[in-house]
Amino acid sequence: MKAVDPEHSNRFAAQVAEKLGADESIVISAVANERMASFANSSVAVTKNVNETSQMVYIAKGGRRIIGSSSNPQRESLERFITLLYKSMLTLPKDPGYVPLPSKSRTFAGRPRYDRKLESAETLIADSVDEAIRAAESAGASRAAGSLETGVTTHYIATSSGTVGRDTSSKVLLNVRAFTEKDASGHGLSCSANVSGFRPAKAGARAGRDSKRMRDARQLKDDASTYQVLMSPAVASNLLSLVGGFASAFSIEAGTSYLVGKLGKKVASEGLELTDMGTGEGCLEGRTFDDEGQPTQSTKVIERGVLASYLHNLSTAKRFRTRSTGNAGLIEPAPWNLEVGAGDSGYEEMVKEMKRGLVLTSNWYTRFKNYRTGEFSTVPRDGTYLVENGEVKAPIKGIRVGDSLERMFSSIRLMSKEREWVQWWEVDTPTLCPWVLVDGVTVTKAYGQRPQVEG
Amino acid sequence: MRLLEEYKDLAEYCVKESRRLGAEYAEARIHGGTGTGFLLKNGEPQPSMIDDSFGIGARVIVGGAMGFSATNLLSKDAVKELTAKTMKMAKSSARLVKEPIGMGESKPAKRKVRVVEKEKIEGGDPTWLKSLLLDIDKRVVGLQKEGRGVKIPNRMMVASTGAEEKYVVTSDGAQVESRIPRFHFFGIFTAIKGAGAAQRMIQQGETGGLEIVERIRLRELVEDEARTLMEVLGEAEKAPTGIMDVVLSPELSGIAAHESVGHPQEADRILGREGAQAGESYLSRDSLGMKVGSEDANVSDDPTLANSNGFSPVDDEGVVSQKRRLIVNGKISELLQNRATSSLLGVKNNGSSRSAGFDREPIIRMSNTFVEPGDYATTEDLIKEVKDGIYLKSFTEWNIDDKRLNQRYIGLEAYRIRKGETTSLVRAPVLEITTPALWGSVRGRSKRLEFEAASCGKGDPMQGIPVWTGGPDTLLSGVRIVGGT
């Protein structure tokens, strides 16, 4: 059994589809090389290495279409798989969403700049984990947990209209959490497309400092109240990356977005700019081509607080009478990388602006009461601080933030000049994001007494 | 099982090669399967999706360090290279291992796991799935005639069929082969009336063949839920605020059992291994026997339940899985364990290790987590105990902090209870409560035991894994409800 080169594999798959009688085909192969080290209690728990080649195959005939994904790159398996796809497609009715692929062929040469150092990164991983743990402990943590991941992925495309190309991206992500006591923790991230922008010690130190500051955290007095909330790039990007997803035309059609019917309308404060980028300086993911072989681009989703565009593939663009924004997803258009426009404030200045507020450095478990209205809640964790009259007064624990995305982002007071790339467990779409200060956010705490925790 | 048969020798070769290179423990898993999915959006079919995936995942322990590697290049040369790389990575990380990992003594299983399919899952092709979803959509659309101004314009449904196949071998002699067929349904329905909107997510899933659809009466179930959603939007009144008795339905009992009992009782979380992602636990390694609930609080996790979404009678470390009594009469009774945690804590391994695919390491997972049924014959009998309170029948938003102590559930279908009877629908009552307060307030349970399907997320990279959450109706005495608008 012999594995085939991805470009040959794409051509082979396209030939099989054509031979079977398909009118159109798109084959995208992805070759991913990912490495990771997970650590807990300042000790490496596991190292991981995953080499995976997968194919996304789209075929269409007479207005019928089907999508397949396979991780069996061997020729025999691929041929068997495409034959199954073709036969299954013929049993389906014509698809009302079908749009022919543009006849114009394109060649995507790929980006010259990805970091080859991340192709073989064992030493980098081990040294960086060590550096992050030491920095966290030096800053006051008694132990650190986290994961460090490096990835280099190349996508290859071939379509029946003659489009071919390849594109490689690289990234290194560190997520570190430091602990002093059971309830005292801090969080740090360093996310970069290359080694030169990677700062493991800075992330470790930030987590360590917050874990120390969170000792003796207390609960808020009120069960529910409104506060000004200063969100770190990690917290703001969790929510704003969701806004990017809600801008997908698929979500609009499915009614699972609060942005339904709001194109051209004000959905946020004037200072908010949200842009999707297929590729660009510092982008952690994305490609030069989308799943339909269309070039990706930079799309303003929110411009000066106004909803400027949904994200489209060819099919949704036709129904919305507009042009594809290069965000296919054959079924569901999706953002590639999001950029939130910078403000003009510094962190200290933003804290001084707060009369009664909370600084949130990390959050998790954001869930929606209703996607159509954008009502949600999320649970702050790690460094969380009460601010009164411009001064940080006390570390706070045991709170929940609940609001609607539109209300929240229509109440932005300030945003920072400084921005950070964020991608981790709680942020799927890489997002370049500033600190964001918003007014009038509802904060609640749970009913019931805390138990005596043993150990 | 043709592909699995073809690659079995590669898994065995991988384990032998790892041992030859010095691994103290080695494990290899051929893991994959095929699946078909169909998505219907507002009555319009989307392109059908077919997945086909197979690969090998291998894990070794060397010098107290653990290495995991995976590839879908299934040749002897590729596996040899993979094995060497796994060993090299594990050895090179040893300098950063301060807590050496051991796999201890667990009884290795030799078993073939099969699930009965009355109608083969392969029959669930795109045409079959399309017909099923169009049928359901027609029923939901038909409800709008009687909707008194409430419409359900947005209806997104995904149905999928598939079979997961695995072959697990370990250096201490486990050989476990399994084929788990599944049917899964997910839908989001949005009801609109004027400027108001209400939304219901429905998830159903079981192991077995296509007979599942009839067994769970999927068409009727979704139609009923859609009808209720319209009633909620059209009729629900403002919910009260205050301390009151609350009856949780099986759906609510199940999510609470999963989030605030199952997760904090995962031993790897307690030992800190999930600290940076899914978090740790409010419990410690010394919490066995700790009182966290009333005498009526009894919660279990059982991977052996027939037809269950979380069916896993042997785990991915080749160890037989057993029912776990997580909370018995209000006390922490047992944790979810794998080879490493049971070895470290000196307790019996109850076989809780699962992985979502060949490219994911096995970690401790729940299977089917539920509140044990009680003595009340019916839901109504339990509701009769409440003078003034709320019956939470379904929920929308939910979340919990990462130590699993501070949780919130917002009711969707919820009723006011007065003098032992449900009266009006109420809008979005919020139960936001700590774990000991919730389980400490349990005063009664009904006999009916029902389950919901869910996908549980954990690990890094993230692994979503099929589970059931369930329970009976559960009476909570004197908890805080916050009424919405």
The full DSSP string for B248-300 is EPHHHHHHHHIIIIIGGGBHHHHTTTTTTTT---SS-TT-TT-B-S-TT--EE
Q: Measured between alpha carbons, how far is B410 from A379 in angstroms, rounded to an integer?
A: 15
- Percent of chain A residues topping a pLDDT of 70: 97
With b meaning 16 or more CB within 10 Å and e meaning fewer, what string describes A250-277? bbbbbbbbbbbebbeeebbbebbbbbbb
Residues of B with Cβ-Cβ distance to A72 under 8 angstroms: 52-54, 72
Any chain A CB within 8 A of the CB of B401? yes
* B69 with A49: Cβ contact below 8 A: yes
Domains located in chain B, CATH noted? 2-34+51-109 (3.30.2290.10), 113-167+175-234 (3.30.160), 242-482 (no CATH)
Structure tokens at B66: 């653990």
Any chain A CB within 8 A of the CB of B410? yes
Residues of A with Cβ-Cβ distance to B411 under 8 angstroms: none
pLDDT of A317 over the 60 cut: yes
When pLDDT is cut at 50, 70 and 90, the band that residue B378 belongs to is very high
Question: Which pLDDT tens digit goes with each residue over A365-417?
Answer: 999 999 999 999 999 999 999 999 999 999 999 999 999 999 999 999 999 99
- Is the bond leading into B37 cis (omega within 30 degrees of zero)? no
pLDDT of A452 over the 60 cut: no
* A69 with B126: Cβ contact below 8 A: no
Q: What pLDDT, on a 0 to 100 scale, did the predictor assign at position A275?
A: 98
When pLDDT is cut at 50, 70 and 90, the band that residue A453 belongs to is very low
Backbone conformation region of residue B289, classed left if phi is above 0, alpha if psi is from -120 to 50, else beta: left
pLDDT of A454 over the 60 cut: no
Average pLDDT, whole number, for chain B?
A: 96
Q: What pLDDT, on a 0 to 100 scale, did the predictor assign at position B5?
A: 81
Question: Which pLDDT tens digit goes with each residue over B425-454?
Answer: 999 999 999 999 999 999 999 999 999 999
Q: Which of B72, B284, B479 comes nearest A455 by C-beta?
A: B284
Question: Which pLDDT tens digit goes with each residue over B197-222?
Answer: 999 999 999 999 999 999 999 999 99
Q: What pLDDT, on a 0 to 100 scale, did the predictor assign at position A449?
A: 58
Q: Which chain A residue has the Cα nearest residue B41?
A: A254
* A400 with B408: Cβ contact below 8 A: yes
Choose from A35, A49, A246 for mutation: most chain B CBs within 10 A.
A49
Q: Which chain A residue has the Cα nearest residue B49?
A: A67
Average pLDDT, whole number, for chain A?
A: 94
* B432 with A400: Cβ contact below 8 A: yes
Q: Parallel, antiparallel, or unpaired: how do β-strands A164-179 and B196-207 relate? A: unpaired
Choose from B89, B92, B458 for mutation: most chain A CBs within 10 A.
B89
pLDDT of A28 over the 80 cut: yes
Domains located in chain A, CATH noted? 6-211 (3.30.2290.10), 216-233+345-445 (no CATH)
Minimum distance, in Å, between the CA of residue B326 and any CA atom of chain A: 18
Q: Say if residues B133 and B38 touch (Cβ distance below 8 Å).
A: yes
**Residue B484: φ, ψ to 5°:** -90, -145
Any chain A CB within 8 A of the CB of B463? no
Minimum distance, in Å, between the CA of residue A349 and any CA atom of chain B: 30
Residues of B with Cβ-Cβ distance to A183 under 8 angstroms: 403
Work out the average pLDDT over B248-275.
97
* A376 with B434: Cβ contact below 8 A: no
Cβ–Cβ pairs < 8 A, chains A and B:
315
pLDDT of B191 over the 80 cut: yes
Any chain A CB within 8 A of the CB of B179? no
Residues of A with Cβ-Cβ distance to B71 under 8 angstroms: 50-52
The full DSSP string for B43-78 is TEEPPEEEEEEEEEEEEEEETTEEEEEEES--SHHH
Residues of B with Cβ-Cβ distance to A445 under 8 angstroms: 406, 432
pLDDT of B187 over the 90 cut: yes
pLDDT of B376 over the 90 cut: yes
* A67 with B50: Cβ contact below 8 A: yes
Give residues with Cβ within 8 angstroms of A20, minimum separation 6.
Answer: A82, A83, A86
pLDDT of B1 over the 70 cut: no
* B437 with A449: Cβ contact below 8 A: yes
ipTM score over 0.90, yes or no: yes
Q: Which chain B residue has the Cα nearest residue A376?
A: B397
Any chain A CB within 8 A of the CB of B134? no
Residues of B with Cβ-Cβ distance to A377 under 8 angstroms: 397, 399, 408
- Is the bond leading into B461 cis (omega within 30 degrees of zero)? yes
When pLDDT is cut at 50, 70 and 90, the band that residue A451 belongs to is very low
Work out the average pLDDT over B299-314.
98
Residues of B with Cβ-Cβ distance to A47 under 8 angstroms: 65-68, 89-90, 92-93
Q: What pLDDT, on a 0 to 100 scale, did the predictor assign at position A1?
A: 44
Any chain A CB within 8 A of the CB of B60? no
Work out the average pLDDT over B21-45.
96
* B272 with A47: Cβ contact below 8 A: no
Closest-CA residue to B206 (of B457, B452, B464, B465): B452
Any chain A CB within 8 A of the CB of B93? yes
Any chain A CB within 8 A of the CB of B271? yes
Query: For residue A230, how many C-alpha atoms fall within 13 Å in the half-sphere facing its CB?
Result: 28
pLDDT of A15 over the 70 cut: yes
Which range is least confidently modeled, A18-22, A141-145, A287-291, A448-452? A448-452
Residues of A with Cβ-Cβ distance to B43 under 8 angstroms: none
* B74 with A49: Cβ contact below 8 A: no
Q: Which chain A residue has the Cα nearest residue B481?
A: A447
Q: What pLDDT, on a 0 to 100 scale, did the predictor assign at position A181?
A: 80
